Structure 1
Amino acid sequence: MLNLGVYHTLKIARSTQVGLFLTNGKEDVLLPLKYIPKEYEIGDELSVFVYLDHEERPVATTLKPYITLGDFAFLRVNYTNRFGAFLDWGLEKDLFVPFKEQARPMEEGKRYLVHLFLDTKTNRLVGSSKINQFLDKKPSELEKGEEVHLIISHITDIGINVIINGQFRGLVYKNEVYDDKIRPGDKRNGYVKLVRPDGKIDVTFHKIGLDNIEDSAQIILKELKLNKGFLRLTDDSHPEDIKSVLKMSKKTFKKAIGMLYRAKLILVKADGVYLTEN
């Protein structure tokens, strides 16, 4: 059987009254009539997602699910019953999360971070909000400064908990977050700041070291150009004002301003920063 929960590129083998049968040369799967393209020829290739339909039969769809096998996503609960919860994942058939895979009882209408896995006993795609069991506690291969992919898990008083590369837990400290629009389920790029001996990982949304200063300098230049060559920010500006305008810390702002000043790209005056004519 074709692997469930992932995309496949398959050839159109034949057309029937119920849809198109697609093949990888060894196995066939039905693409129902509602999903077939307006124009096609036998032998054309289609990219489809394969899962089990309401009758537990493999079926292909051109719909794009919100989550694929081995991934994490924030999904909304459509309804619950005595067997578990059923989540909207963008397909006709809801994603089932049994009670034993719920970190806490799920409630209709609420969203939860879940992991999609294949239950080998039933050969069904199943969701789980007990995400720790799917994460590695020994991220030895990660290095300081390495760019990583982040999924926002949840937000606490300490900072933002994230999942790194779909494998590890990480934390972005609150005092290093300059965007108040971050929400659970968001996906962003980040950078490894520190891998602790106990396996815990500190990450940041910004590059570290000189790379961060250079990127911040470019952000300042862009803002200057958008504001007719002037920003009413100085070394004496309140950190929250700098955060609001530039989405960076005051410390980073001062270093980036210094870099731009030395490059003769700006003038620093008592009332703010000016873009030079060069």
Structure 2
Amino acid sequence: MENKIGRVITIKIIDENDKYVFGQHDGETYRLAKEELRSIPKMGANVSGFAYENDKHQLQITKTIPKIGIGKYAFCDVVAVRKNLGVFVDIGLPNKDIVVSCDELPELTHLWPKKNDRLLIGLKVDHKGRLWGDLATEEMFRAISVKADAKLRNKDVTGTVYRLKMVGSYVLTNDYQLGFIHNTERDQEPRLGEVVNARVIGVREDGTMNLSLRPRAYEAISDDAQMLIAALQHNNGHLPYTDKSSPAEIKAYFGISKGQFKRAVGHLMKAGLVQQIDGELRLNEA
């Protein structure tokens, strides 16, 4: 069975019932759902399909060949999690989800993939003839990746976390660039298989991107501070107001108290977005 499961085989039709036709290959009987067939094959005819053991532990073939196989890898969606076994992944079989064993997953279960996360996997068969998902290796990710352009700095990218380390998380973007999120550039560690939106904070010489899950400075500031940024952008980057301006002037122009204004200016200065010079609040150049 080890040489047949997970591969395309040809069976010789020997029987049928209401739902299936049955065929043999090397002395073993496989079923094929009639709903997959345009016409019912004659007895003795040969039919090819992908061989697997269905969820009732019956040998079966399907004409719908999965996008992954033994030595063939692709991204597949996680559909369920079982703590004592691993995660179940949909590879396109009609009545069978494939398990990625807990032995291949992070030691901390809260970092396991959740439903709708995605994993780059192939297939493997164990010594008992059981089909399992096989996580792609670091070398495989590097082989399919392309170098990132330095122009991507400060751009947003979307990618899938494929490797977890103490120092940080490794990501493959939707455009197949490699990225790394240092543990200082995230508030919490993303899961294996989690799809993340990140900001490019640097591009290394080898084309790998340094990424951050933290918001940009202007995204992390208060509503008052964002209002000040908008006002500056609409006034060529400078306004005749500082923390020395009177409460009445600030209230009349911005509609906030001087205390709110000072806190907002302080946040913006700390973020390196503005400065106060010659009685003006000025927007720093990017």
Indicate the TM-score class for this superposition, using the shorter chain for normalisation.
Answer: 0.3 to 0.5
TM-score (norm: length of structure 1): 0.47
TM-score (norm: length of structure 2): 0.46
Specify the structure having the higher radius of gyration (Cα): 2
